[in-house]
Chains A and B, each alone.
Chain A
Amino acid sequence: MPGIEEIKNGLKKKFKDAVVAVEEQSPTRLFVDIKSAKVREISNGIIAMGARYLVSVGYDNISRDGTLGMIHTFGFDRDGIFLALRTSVPESKPVMDSITPDIPNAGWSEREYMDLLGMKFTAHPKPKRLILADDWPEGVHPLRKDIPWNLMPPAAEDVAYQLDECPEGCSIIPVGPYHPTLHEPAHFAVFVDGETIKGSDYRGFMTHRGIEKLCQTQLTYNEIPFVAERICGICGSVHAATYAQAVELAAGIRISRRAEYIRTIMLEIERIHSHLLWLGVAGHLIGFDTVFMQSWRIREPIMWLGERITGNRKTYGMIVIGGVRRDITPEIKEDILSVIGKVEEELLTVKKAIQGDSAIHRRTKGVGYVSTEDTMLWSLVGPVARARNVDIDVRRDFPYAAYDEMKFDVPVFDSNDVWATVLVRLLETFEAIKIIRQCLDKMPNDGPILTELEAPIPPLRHGLMAVEAPRGEAVHYVITGEENAPDRWRVRAPTYPNLQGVPLMLLGNQLADVPIIIGSIDPCFSCTDRMEIVDLRSGAAKTASQRELEELSRNKR
């Protein structure tokens, strides 16, 4: 169990002059500047110390010192320390070692900066295009500052993403670009031998909207929370909270305790509605519509509650830098208590129904198995990891807002399958209700809900923040800028690492289980109109409608 001093000394001793500088921003945040040549070695050293990889952040620093910056971030779960490994490469030769061969989850982050910044990573196992559209011109890297935010290159035809080679004797089943589980576009190519899945490839980012670039160039600090909220339709507050806290951390702003409590309440209300939503969707995917109807019925009062507290049923718009916008009055407090009391009671009935239903057991037990070691290797997060015996929860490990005063359990299961994720989410909903009750009980009665900023936010400060979203942890990295807007704002939604683990979960399962396995990570991309089945041996293609796939999934016994 290394403390912050031990991490610092350990790195300095082991890597000597490769470590250029160490900055201890706070007792929980450590920034380490290193030479780019040793990045892979040092990353491995940090993982060996017991850290978990979070995300990489690339940024354009050409105007200041002619370099492209790269930051790998790690979290020490047991000690509550975040570590950011900062390095840079010159613009003329933007080449650095890839850390993906050892840390597979870094694969997407690195591919992202190949696309967006034109960096190159030696020994990357899959250096394919990830974020940009297939017809985006080569050599135009949109996140560089010299590219205007509203650049619109002409569309090209006959350009397609080259999927991975299909294994011998297997057929490819493309699932998507419109997708069978949820309601956003993504493309899985599933390689099957008969009914058994032998592998898969993913092509997504079809709704890449360039929010980061837009916010860095066009919006100001306190406008971004409202855009951040629209990153995700289900866990919007989470992104607004993560962003606001990252900026507050970078600028050293302290907000009132009351505002922190209100943030906590909003995040937990959101967790209840998100988990109930997922439960309904999962029930629907395995053909158990009673669960779908009932859990959404229970969820509706929560949406109305949100409407009464914030003025809107989903986009709460509560969180801005410096605090929150609306107060929780004594009347609203009573309102919250009565609503969550009712939800708890009704959810208990649904929980009993789910636990006693043999059909759900048969469809979810043993499905989507991933071993605990693989889960840690791929740094999966949230309920997906907790269902696979990895005991991590940002609320407990890196407390933010008012979570340091909350007492709650973190449900962890070791059956490593979809059934465990169902249980984790069910139990977490009860924990969320517990946390809301504690918040309302302990909340200080006075104090401003919005702290006025005394001075402008100083430029070029770094802030790293993680928040436990319903789906896992959301990580935001902010570099403050000059003109009242961030210089770099990196968002990592919880689905980002979890989606990379889907090929692992699919492996060896049956085709009919694809919807529930992909659904089990509660993905934030998604839905379906149709999918295409191509039989490689005969070369005949036929189109299966969503209904057919759904039938396949629902009729499985």
Chain B
Amino acid sequence: MWLTSKIKQVFMVAKPGVVTLRYPFEPRPAPPNFRGQPYWDHHKCIGCGGCAAHCPARTILVRDLCQELRVMVYDGSRCTYCGRCADVCPEDAITMTSSYELATGSKEDINETMELFMATCQRCGRCYDHEITNAIDRMSRIGFKYDSLEMRAVVPVSSEQFDMKLYEKTEKIKRPEKAGE
């Protein structure tokens, strides 16, 4: 009984043979809709910050340096590759690529920084509040315009209003020469 069951097991094992992949020596491409390293297309990005508002890991930061200049930073070291940013992007500016071999000696290699020129509305420049009914804003409760790029921290505000105190507080943090580094 014992011996026959062992002999049967030998056949069970022998049939599939060796299945180990020679992975690092032979490349193993990921399937087409794999959620790998996200890629930002700065030509398409309109700087709405929807990705930052939906990022569960808070890896996308948005900071307005002035009325016209918005900096967006993607901190790849904290990313969970859920692909939520690519889902919500209204302009399809974000794609999840199939690259997954991201091990690196420097964090900066997997970060991405974009400086976007934001046009101001010719009439009064304050009409953004009227768009508060759109889906992205309704879902969010974080003020994504005043994030601390230096501390790599999202600055949460729980109101829709511009919080002057909070803004002043983050203003005082010393900025490096080049934003996002």
Contacts and interface: CB of A to CB of B under 8 A. Distances in A.
B162 interface: no
A353 B33 contact: no
B139 A358 contact: no
A84 B4 CA distance: 55
Interface of B: 1-2, 4-5, 8-9, 12-13, 16, 19, 30-31, 33-35, 54-57, 80-84, 87, 96, 135, 138-142, 156, 158
Contacts of B1: 356, 358
Interface string A259-300: 000000000000000000000000000000010011001001
Given A326-B33, A353-B12, A358-B1, A226 B82 contact: yes
A392 B44 CA distance: 53
Contacts of A346: 16
B135 A222 contact: no
B81 A312 contact: yes
29 contacts: A219-B56, A220-B139, A220-B140, A220-B141, A220-B142, A223-B54, A223-B55, A226-B84, A230-B80, A290-B9, A290-B12, A297-B19, A308-B33, A310-B35, A311-B33, A311-B96, A317-B83, A317-B84, A325-B83, A349-B12, A350-B12, A353-B8, A356-B5, A356-B8, A358-B1, A452-B135, A484-B139, A484-B140, A484-B141
A218 interface: yes
Contacts of B34: 307, 311-312
A131 to B, nearest CB: 24
A485 interface: yes
Identify the interface centre among A223, A356, A358: most chain B CB within 10 Å of its CB. Answer: A223
A310 B34 CA distance: 7
A311 B138 CA distance: 27
Given A230-B80, A484-B140, 17 more contacts: A219-B56, A220-B141, A220-B142, A222-B139, A226-B56, A226-B82, A290-B13, A294-B12, A297-B16, A307-B30, A311-B31, A311-B33, A312-B81, A325-B83, A350-B12, A353-B8, A353-B9
A7 interface: no
Contact of A226 (B12, B13, B16, B80): B80
A398 to B, nearest CB: 29
Interface of chain B: mostly helix, strand, loop or mixed = loop
B139 A311 contact: no
Interface of A: 218-224, 226-227, 230, 290, 293-294, 297, 300, 304, 307-308, 310-312, 315, 317, 325-326, 346, 349-350, 352-353, 356-359, 452, 456, 483-485
Contacts of A224: 56
Nearest to B96: A311
Identify the interface centre among A220, A221, A294, A352: most chain B CB within 10 Å of its CB. Answer: A220
A222 B139 CA distance: 8
Contact of A311 (B35, B55, B56): B35
Q: 6 closest Cβ contacts across the A-B interface?
A: A311-B35, A223-B56, A226-B56, A356-B5, A317-B82, A308-B31
B97 to A, nearest CB: 11
A311 B12 CA distance: 32
Given A311-B34, A483-B141, A218 B12 contact: no
Nearest to A359: B2
Contacts of B96: 311
Contact of B158 (A304, A308, A326, A483): A483
A374 B60 CA distance: 51
B56 A485 contact: no
Contacts of A356: 1, 4-5, 8
A234 B57 CA distance: 20
A279 to B, nearest CB: 14
B120 to A, nearest CB: 29
Contact of A312 (B9, B16, B35, B87): B35
Nearest to B53: A220
A352 B8 CA distance: 9
Contacts of B19: 297, 300
Nearest to A229: B82
A293 B12 contact: no
